[in-house]
Structure 1
Amino acid sequence: MIKEQYSNEQLPNELSSVFTELQVSKHLRQAGIRKSFGFSCTYLFQLVFCLIFHQKNWFNLFISKKNDCYPGKDTVYRFLYHSKFAWRKFLLHFSEATIQKVSILTSKNRPKVLIIDDSTFDRNRSKNVELLARCFDHASLKMRFYKGFRMFILGWSDGHTFMPIDFSLLSSKTSTINGMNEKIEKRCSGYKRSTEALQSAPNQIPAMIDRALSNGIEASYVLMDTWFTQQPLIQAIVEQGLDVIGMVKNAKQRYNVNGQRLSLKQLYRSATPLQGKKGLRHTDERTLGGLFYDLCDEVNELDWAVALQQLIELLQDVLKKTNKQTQQLLNNQLSQWVAGLPSYIRAYLPNLVCES
Structure 2
Amino acid sequence: MNIVPHHHHSCEAASSKIQRFFAEFHVGQILRSCNAYKLRGFAVMAIFLVAFEAAFQRRSFYQRKKDASESIPFERDTFYRFLNSCAIHWRKFTLLLGMAIIQKAIAPLTSGARRNVLIIDDSLFSRNRSKKVELLARVYDHVSGTYMKGFRMLTLGWSDGNTFLPLSHCLLSSSSKQQQLQGASEDVDPRSNGGKQRKLAQCKAPEVVLTLLQEAREAGAPAQHVLFDSWFCSPASLHQIHELGYDV
Normalised TM-score (structure 1): 0.62
Structure 2 partner of 1:225: 229
**Deviation by residue 1:263-288 (Cα, 9 ceiling, x = unmatched):** xxxxxxxxxxxxxxxxxxxxxxxxxx
Match of 2:201 in 1: 197
1:240 equivalent among 233, 244, 247: 244
Distance in 2 (CA, whole Å) between partners of 1:191 and 1:160 is 36
The runs of 5 or more residues in structure 1 that have no matched partner are 1-8, 245-356
Distance 1:132 1:120 in 2: 13
Matched, 1:98 2:120: no
Bigger mean CA offset, 101-110 vs 203-212: 203-212
Partner of 2:55: 52
- The correspondence of residues 58-77 of structure 1 with structure 2, limited to 5 A, is 58-62=61-65, 64-67=66-69, 69-70=71-72, 71-77=74-80
Which residue number in structure 1 is paired with residue 4 of structure 2?
Answer: none
Counterpart code for 1:150? R
User: CA shift at 1:103, angstroms?
Assistant: 0.9
Aligned to 1:130: 134
Aligned pairs, how many?
A: 233
Is 1:32 aligned to 2:39, yes or no?
no
Q: Are 1:154 and 2:173 counterparts?
A: no
Question: 1:180 corresponds to which residue?
Answer: 184
* Distance change (3 Å), C-alpha of 1:60 and 1:136: farther
Residue type of the partner of 1:87? W
Structure 2 partner of 1:321 = none
Aligned partner letter, 2:103: Q
Q: Equivalents in 2 of 1:58, 1:125: separation in Å?
A: 22
Measured against aligned partners, the alpha-carbon deviations of 1:84-111 in whole angstroms (never above 9, x if no partner) come to 1110111111111111121111000000
Assess, with a 3 A threshold, how the Cα gap between structure 1 residues 69 and 52 changes in structure 2: closer, same or farther: same
* 1:19 match: 22
Alpha-carbon shift at residue 45 of structure 1 (Å): 1.2
> Is the CA contact 2:157–2:164 (under 8 Å) kept in the aligned structure 1?
yes
Report the equivalent of 2:6: none
Q: Deviations over 1:130-186 (max 9, x none)?
A: 111121221x3x334332211111111101111111211100123111111112112
Distance between the aligned counterparts of 2:152 and 2:62, measured in 1?
A: 24
* Greater relative contact order structure (CA < 8 Å, 6+ sep): 2
Residues 19-78 of structure 1 deviation map (CA, whole Å, 9 limit, x = unaligned): 11111111001101122222222111110111122222234435x343465322211111
In structure 1, C-alpha distance between the alignment counterparts of 2:103 and 2:67, rounded to whole Å: 42
Q: CA offsets per residue over residues 215-245 of structure 1, 9 Å max, x none?
A: 111211100002201221111111222111x
Greater Cα radius of gyration, structure 1 or 2:
1
Root-mean-square deviation (Å): 1.9
Match of 1:89 in 2: 92
TM-score using structure 2 length: 0.87
Residues 18 and 53, structure 2, Cα contact 8 Å, conserved in 1: no
Percent sequence identity is: 39
Distance 1:60 1:135 in 2: 33
Partner SS for 2:230: coil
Q: Cα offset for 1:81?
A: 0.8
Q: Do the aligned partners of 2:15 and 2:53 also contact (CA within 8 Å) in 1?
A: no
* Cα distance in 2 for residues equivalent to 1:39 and 1:124: 36
